[in-house]
Amino acid sequence: MSVVSRTGELFRGERYRATRREIATTFRTLVRRPMGVAGLAIIIFFVGLAVSAPLIVGNFPDYVTGENVSRPNLPPSEGFPLGTDFLGRSNWALLVYGARISIIVGFTASAVAMIIGTLIGVIAGYFGRWWDRVLSWVTDFFLVIPWLPFVLVIAAVLGRGFTTTVIAIAIVSWPTTARVIRSKVLSVKTLGYVQRARAVGAGDRHIMFRHIMPVLWPLIFANAILTVSNSIFTESFLAFFGFGEPARPSWGTMIQNSFDQVEFFKGAWWSVLPPGISITALVLAFAMVSTVLEEILNPRLRKR
Instruction: Give the pLDDT confidence of 148-171 residue by residue, as tens digits.
Output: 888 888 888 887 778 888 888 888
pLDDT at 179 over 80: yes
Host domain of residue 232: 3-45+104-303
Q: At what angle do helices 91-127 and 273-297 cross, to 10 degrees?
A: 30
Mean predicted lDDT score pLDDT of the chain: 80
Q: What is the pLDDT of residue 282?
A: 92
Q: Which residues contact 278 (CB under 8 A, 6 or more apart)?
A: 46, 95, 98, 99, 102, 251
Percent of residues, the chain, with pLDDT higher than 70: 85
Instruction: Average the pLDDT over 185-198 and give the result.
Output: 77
pLDDT range class, residue 4, cuts 50, 70, 90: very low
Is 69 among the domain residues? no
E strand intervals along 44-146: none
pLDDT at 140 over 50: yes
Is 64 among the domain residues? no
Count of structural domains, the chain: 1
Q: What is the pLDDT of residue 26?
A: 66
pLDDT range class, residue 233, cuts 50, 70, 90: confident
Higher-scoring residue by pLDDT: 68, 251: 251
Contact 76, 70 (CB under 8 A): no
pLDDT at 225 over 60: yes
Go through the chain and tell me how many residues it has: 304
CATH number, domain containing residue 256: 1.10.3720.10
Helix (H, G, I), strand (E, B) or coil at 37: helix
Q: At what angle do helices 129-144 and 162-188 cross, to 10 degrees?
A: 140
Contact 285, 278 (CB under 8 A): no
Give the best-scoring range by mean pLDDT among 19-23, 64-68, 81-85, 262-266: 81-85
Is 73 among the domain residues? no
